[in-house]
Structure 1
Amino acid sequence: MSAPRPPQFAVVTDGGMDAFADLNNAVPVAPFGLTFGSVSYRMHDLTREQLYQELQTNPAHPTSSQPTLQDWSEALREVGTAGAAQVLALTISQGLSGSINAAQQVLGLYPALDVTLHDSRTLSAAQAFQVHAAATAAARGESLETALAWVRAVAEETELYFTIETLDYLRRGGRIGRVQATLGGLLNLKPVITVEDGIYTTVARGRSYRGGLEALATQVTRRYGEGTPLRLGLLYGSVPADADELLAMIEQRHPVVWAGKAGVNPVLNVHTGPRACGVAAAPGAWPWER
């Protein structure tokens, strides 16, 4: 058996990703920021439990901010110090954040690094799937070109859907996208939201929060066809059991070949509101395992 090839490139990402312990998501992250009034945090400095406490007690509505130039600089410095010459940087959708623009601005500070920027055109668990593809290629000694092919294949077949208890947080944060228009005045309905053309849009709706979960599970089946084996990256907000309930609904219609669960990170949770549930779904095995 031949020895594994050393990595030819390194992978970095930003705070748009919700990492999964079972995926290759342990890469340097340029974090987002979160501000309550005059107090600011880096996303990893605030736990989800602390966030929910702040949302209940702090009169100031939180605002989020894209990674700063320093945040991206530190992420690139970390991989440069580790000896990488090529870097693949995957970012949250440009339609939802200016993170990729901040990354572009710092590239001149690292002339020794050959950095390729890739807009994931999504976020959260779907971004984690793309990072997993890139990091897996790196760990196997594959080329950057192969990694990008794997990332694009994963992006093409992966859908991200989520539902939320209230639209207030998306509206206040200015991330309402096409959701407001598609729901019209029926704001008591619970939307099933996806990312289309880089921004949020509604694809289904339920008449209650549980109805939203059921509509979400139905949307997964509508996309992939009943009986199709699936990989699932499940997401939860303030109620972890929501992810278990959603998984059970999907398992009634699909064999699940892999499922992981992750809490929505505090910065993304600010936009969804505390109670939210979602899933990144994709069919069968990973593209490189077929």
Structure 2
Amino acid sequence: MKIAFVTDSGCGKTIEELQQDGIYSVPLQVSYDNKNFQDLVDLSIDDVYKLMEEGKMLSTSLPSLGKIEELFTALKEQGYDMIFAVPICSGLSGTINAMQLSAETIGIAFDYVDCYVTAVVQEYMIKQAKRLFEEGKSIDEIKVILNDIAASTNTVLLPNDLQHLKRGGRLTPLAATLGGLLKIKPILKINKETNGRIDVMDKVRTMHKAMDVVINNMKNEIKDDHYMITVAHADDLEEANYYMDKVKAAFPNATHQIIKLVSVVGVHTGRGCQAIQYFKMLP
């Protein structure tokens, strides 16, 4: 069986970057001034943060059905029998449903795994899916392995500005207003337990205190060195480096990296957000 492995720009990689690994992708959409732009095609992550700095009100949406159908039609014409996808999670986007609908319309078999978030773990899971298939694993076997990775994943957001979450409907107006007045830093989580939706983990008074709370919580979850730990920042590298120093002190033997927070999350958290994502890598 010839299987195409598909993801979307939520993983933070361009179509061209993913093609180098034989993986296909569709762009999510970023909108402002009543115009839609393709994420990582028309607008880079840096472009998005620049627009936010200029005061533009941005929003995000799933890939256009036209783009999904265009890709899926091309894959069918290339002789693929099935599409296997790891898209941005269903708790944040309707992309999975759109892909299912497009595959049904075009007449090609479709299966997927929900990563319960987006970003680095999404990229890792789709690349592992392709590798495992090439090593002879069945799709059912691959789904079990990927679901275990998803279950080990946690993503924690430390937004610096609650107004973006308020505008996007992620926080109630009262909570956002009180948070601003009292200088409360909400600690937000997204994982399998929250079904891929943003939930409040804790509330503290300062960003650095929030970082300490997150790392203490991580110590209860991370029991070995086989973890990828990513600090993702919304245009504040200095604070990201500070956060990473704390992470490395607590988990010196894990795999670490710092990246810019992907557009489709940063638009909703606002500039200055510090995020951390960690998951157990395969042996």
- Give deviations 1:135-194, integer Å, cap 9, x for gaps: 3313434221222111111011121112111111111112338x986x893442222211
Greater helix percent: which structure? 2
* 1:185 maps to which of 147, 155, 178: 178
Deviation at 1:229, TM superposition (A): 5.1
Q: Does 1:89 align with 2:82?
A: no
How far 1:228 moved relative to its partner?
5.4
Counterpart CA distance in 2 for 1:81 and 1:216 is 48
Question: What amino acid is aligned across from residue 17 of structure 1 in structure 2?
Answer: C
Count of residue pairs the alignment pairs up: 274
2:277 pairs with 1:280: yes
Residue 5 of structure 2, aligned match among 1, 6, 11: 11
> Does the 8 Å contact 1:15/1:43 carry over to 2?
yes
Partner residue of 1:260?
257
1:93–1:120 contact (8 Å) kept in structure 2: yes
What displacement does 1:8 show? 4.9
Contact 2:58 2:267 in 1 (8 A): yes
What are structure 1's unaligned runs of at least 5 residues? Answer: 1-6
Match of 1:54 among 51, 56, 73: 51
The AA in structure 1 aligned to 2:243 is L
Q: Is the 1:11–1:135 Cα contact (8 Å) retained in structure 2?
A: yes
Aligned-pair identity in percent equals 18
C-alpha change, 1:210 and 1:80, in structure 2 (3 Å) is farther
Using the TM superposition, give the Cα deviation of residue 101 of structure 1 relative to its aligned residue in structure 2, in angstroms. Answer: 1.9
User: 2:149 corresponds to which residue?
Assistant: 154
Q: How many angstroms apart in 2 are the aligned matches of 1:258 and 1:96?
A: 26
Matched, 1:109 2:105: yes
Once superposed, what is the RMSD of the aligned Cα atoms? 3.0
Secondary structure of 1:280 counterpart: strand
Cα deviation per residue 1:37-83 (whole Å; 9 max; x = unaligned)? 1332111111233222322335x521211111112223324544554
8 Å Cα contact 1:125-1:235 kept in structure 2:
no
Question: Structure 1-normalised TM-score?
Answer: 0.81
2:39 corresponds in structure 1 to: 43
Counting only pairs closer than 5 Å after superposition, residues 238-249 of structure 1 correspond to structure 2 as 238-249=235-246
User: What TM-score results when the alignment is normalised by the length of structure 2?
Assistant: 0.83
Q: How does 1:172-251 map onto structure 2 within 5 Å?
A: 172-176=167-171, 185-187=178-180, 188-195=183-190, 196-224=194-222, 230-251=227-248
CA distance, structure 2, for counterparts of residue 140 and residue 233 of structure 1: 27
The structure-2 alpha-carbon separation of the partners of 1:272 and 1:82, relative to structure 1 and needing over 3 Å to count, comes to: farther
Find the aligned partners of 2:113 and 2:75 in 1 and give their Cα distance.
17
For the 8 Å contact 2:100–2:110, the answer to whether it is kept is: no
1:222 and 1:38, CA in 2 relative to 1: closer, same or farther beyond 3 A?
A: same
Partner of 1:118: 113
